[in-house]
Amino acid sequence: MRHAQLFRLTAVAAALSLAVAGCGGAKSDAGSDKPAAGSKGTVKLAINPWVGYEANAAVVGYLLEKKLGYTVDKKNLKEEISWQGFETGEVDVVLENWGHDDLKKTYITDKKVAVEVGPTGNKGTIGWYVPQWMADKYPDITDGANLNKYANLFKTSESGAQGQLLDGDPSFVTNDAALVANLKLNYKVVYSGSEAAIIKAAQQATAQTKPLLFYFYEPQWLFAKEKYARVKLPAYTAGCDADPKKVACDYPDYVLDKIASKKFADSGGAAYQLVKNFQWTNEDQNLVSDYITNQGMTAEAAGEKWVNEHEATWKPWIPATS
């Protein structure tokens, strides 16, 4: 997810080759009235590990195959590993980038192997949340300055004598360890390991009225299903997160964008134009995410359903010359 300076590239290009070897597969079952999938080549889409991203890829991938006749090769990769693929040629597109200013500097400015492709249309937020029942019962808990007062409520076996702040996948954009230290909070960051795990914990906290303080983000379908209250931290100001070790402010709002390899931008033709034209709303993404997560659909089926029901939205994405 976001702010490049928050990540370190923990794997080398060789690791990328190993990681993608078993990931994803080409989809080529275009209908008889559509261009034959694969006839225009292959588009290599990185798939980062959260369902909103998967929703983007489901729709863009479906349109690339069924409307433009490309084969889509989806590669399940962590964010920072995806960027390495621009240099090795193993990734053409990242469809939902959360900032990553350091990666942009490395791969766009310095190495010149990637380019910015414009916004997805999604507005991103990251923050700390508690179930709404906790905000109702303890009205001042949503002020971060009062969190130490409630630390005992959030103790778990993983956090020991401290309160627990539950995060997701360790690869996600997070300042949380620095925030806990710099705001002098009596809490320990515990990683659930995945988006699915943190959603399950949040749902249980609501259903079972269990205390939970957790890191989360939007766009996210869960916010349309249940209510959670955001905890206010010191307000974000430009540059307050410039040094990842000294961060003591809340997360900024994000304009999510797309990144492509320079080679794909230069020679991707109609496929690149579709990626460039792709823009939708948080509500669009959350709908497809809900299909995948809660309605038992495959990503391919979810993409097809959304495309069939929202032609007015996606029609302008299709290049006029295709």
SS (H, E, C) the chain: CECHHHCCCCCCHHHHHHHHHCCCCEECCCCCCCCCCCCCCEEEEEECCCHHHHHHHHHHHHHHHHCCCCEEEEEECCHHHHHHHHHHCCCCEEEEEECCHHHHHHHHHHCCCEEEEEEEEEEEEEEEEEEHHHHHHCHHHHEHHHHHHHHHHHECCCCCCCEEEEECCCCCCCCHHHHHHHCCCCEEEEECCCHHHHHHHHHHHHHCCCCCCEEEEECCCHHHHCCEEEEECCCCCCCCCCCCCCCCCCCCCEEEEEEEEHHHHHHCHHHHHHHHHCCCCHHHHHHHHHHHHHCCCCHHHHHHHHHHHCHHHHHHHCCCCC
Which of 167, 197, 231 delimits the end of a domain?
231
How high is the mean pLDDT of the chain?
89
% of the chain surpassing 70 pLDDT: 87
% of the chain surpassing 90 pLDDT: 81
Q: How far is CA 274 from CA 70, 93, 270, in A?
A: 12, 11, 6
Residues 84 and 159 both lie in one domain? no
Tell me, yes or no, whether 248 lies in a domain: no
pLDDT top residue among 151 and 169: 151
- How many domains does the chain fold into? 2
Tell me, yes or no, whether 18 lies in a domain: yes
Q: What are phi and psi of 198, to 5 degrees?
A: -70, -35
Cα 284 to Cα 55: distance, rounded to the nearest angstrom: 9
Token pair recorded at residue 87: 């240099």
Whether residue 95 is predicted with pLDDT greater than 50 in this model: the reply is yes
Whether residue 157 is predicted with pLDDT greater than 80 in this model: the reply is yes
Confidence grade of residue 99 (pLDDT, cut at 50, 70, 90):
confident
pLDDT for position 32: 37
Query: How much is the average pLDDT of 184-197?
Result: 96
Residues 100 and 30 both lie in one domain? yes
Residues 20 and 119 both lie in one domain? yes
pLDDT for position 13: 36
Confidence grade of residue 8 (pLDDT, cut at 50, 70, 90):
very low
pLDDT for position 29: 38
What pTM did the predictor assign? 0.78
Tell me, yes or no, whether 249 lies in a domain: no
Tell me, yes or no, whether 155 lies in a domain: yes
Residues 82 and 150 both lie in one domain? no
Token pair recorded at residue 302: 């979810």
Tell me, yes or no, whether 239 lies in a domain: no
Tell me, yes or no, whether 270 lies in a domain: yes
For 67-91, how does the pLDDT look when each residue is reduced to its tens digit (9 = 90+)? 999 999 999 999 999 999 999 999 9
Residues 119 and 54 both lie in one domain? yes
Confidence grade of residue 186 (pLDDT, cut at 50, 70, 90):
very high
Can you give the residue range of the structural domain that contains 148?
Answer: 124-231
Q: Residue 54's domain is classified under what CATH number?
A: 3.40.190.10
Q: Which residues pair with 257 in a beta bridge?
A: 97, 119
Whether residue 7 is predicted with pLDDT greater than 80 in this model: the reply is no
Whether residue 155 is predicted with pLDDT greater than 50 in this model: the reply is yes
Cα 108 to Cα 60: distance, rounded to the nearest angstrom: 23
Confidence grade of residue 300 (pLDDT, cut at 50, 70, 90):
very high
Residues 164 and 113 both lie in one domain? no
Residues 221 and 130 both lie in one domain? yes
Q: Which residues pair with 128 in a beta bridge?
A: 215, 231
pLDDT top residue among 22 and 255: 255
pLDDT for position 232: 97
Whether residue 2 is predicted with pLDDT greater than 50 in this model: the reply is no
* Distance separating the N- and C-terminal Cα atoms of the chain: 33
Which of 231, 246, 271 delimits the end of a domain?
231
pLDDT for position 35: 53
For 40-58, how does the pLDDT look when each residue is reduced to its tens digit (9 = 90+)? 899 999 999 999 999 999 9
